[in-house]
Amino acid sequence: MEAQLLAGKTAVITGGGSGIGEALARKFAAEGAEVHILDVNRETAESVARGILAQKQRASSCVCDVTRQKDVIAVMDGIAARGRIDILVNNAGVAHVGNVESTSEADLDRLFSINVKGVYNCLYAVIPHMKKQGGGCVVNMASIASVVGLADRFAYSMSKGAVLSMTYSVAKDYLKYHIRCNAISPARIHTPFVDGFLSRSYPGREKEMFDQLSKTQPMGRMGEPQEVADLALFLCSDKASFITGSNFPIDGGFIKLNS
């Protein structure tokens, strides 16, 4: 039987209650990690944790608003006090549709608070623990919007560009502490967010618009959360021990083949 890739490791996954975060939590737990699921939604976080525990795997859930630094520090310190934090996946984030003229100050503040400050808060809280224990691994969830221009994604692109820049900075600053930091940049991934967006924006036309959005990917379909989880698993495992300061698009060929 092949050894589990994350056996004996502890992973913290923000936004772990649904979508990509849920897929990450289930995949990491199945590969031997003790998974701590952080989410603003208590119900979804607890549901994912229960599902993992039902498989005789290790998981816990915690309500955490990544925009509140004191709360993030308290949660991370509590987890570290029980052992280690080997892996941090900064997955919590929100989307926004609009160009600069249709993006209000409140929209921009919300995107910055969650997508940028939230990642910073988690890094700020976890990096000292990784330094103290002699190393660790961070994966930040960026987006193809961080490297190519997308229509009507002004604030979202801004926030994900910042995530990518923070990735490079942390990777450079903490090499000597054996902390690896990489980014994953998905294109469209079929998550509950996508289904909710379609039902709100195109009632009665969900299937038509889903097919239309899928066809914008060169491979003709959206990605699946499990595919992102598979990539993150590799990056957080010892198989990726020589990889840091890199961005990994998972985009069905969008960046290179859609121009």
Instruction: For 29-88, write each residue's pLDDT tens digit.
Output: 999 999 999 999 999 999 999 999 999 999 999 999 999 999 999 999 999 999 999 999
Is the same domain home to 75 and 129? yes
Is the same domain home to 111 and 237? yes
Question: Which residues have CB under 8 Å from 101's CB, separation 6+?
Answer: none
Give me the catalytic one of 120, 156, 177, 202. Answer: 156
Is the pLDDT score of 244 beyond 90? yes
Domain count, the chain: 2
Is 22:43 a contact under the CB 8 Å cutoff?
no
Q: Domain of 132? A: 10-187+224-251
Is the same domain home to 100 and 206? no
The model's pLDDT over 159-171, given as tens digits with 9 standing for 90+, comes to 999 999 999 999 9
Regarding predicted confidence, which is higher, 21 or 258?
A: 21
**What average pLDDT is seen over the chain?**
95
Is 46:61 a contact under the CB 8 Å cutoff?
yes
What's the confidence (pLDDT) of residue 258? 72
Distances (CA, A) of 222 to 42, 154, 188: 28, 22, 5
CATH assignment of the domain containing 236 = 3.40.50.720
Is the same domain home to 157 and 58? yes
Q: How far apart are CA 45 and CA 136, in angstroms?
A: 24
Is the same domain home to 178 and 204? no
Is the pLDDT score of 259 beyond 60? no
Is the pLDDT score of 124 beyond 70? yes
Question: Band of the pLDDT at 1, cuts 50, 70, 90?
Answer: low
3-state DSSP call for residue 111? helix
Establish whether 202 is a catalytic residue.
Answer: no
1 lies in some domain? no
4 lies in some domain? no
Is the same domain home to 123 and 199? no
Give all strands of the β-sheet with 247-250 in edge-to-edge order.
59-63, 34-39, 10-14, 87-90, 136-141, 179-186, 247-250
Is the pLDDT score of 192 beyond 90? no
Which helix (DSSP H) or strand (DSSP E) does residue 140 occupy? strand 136-141
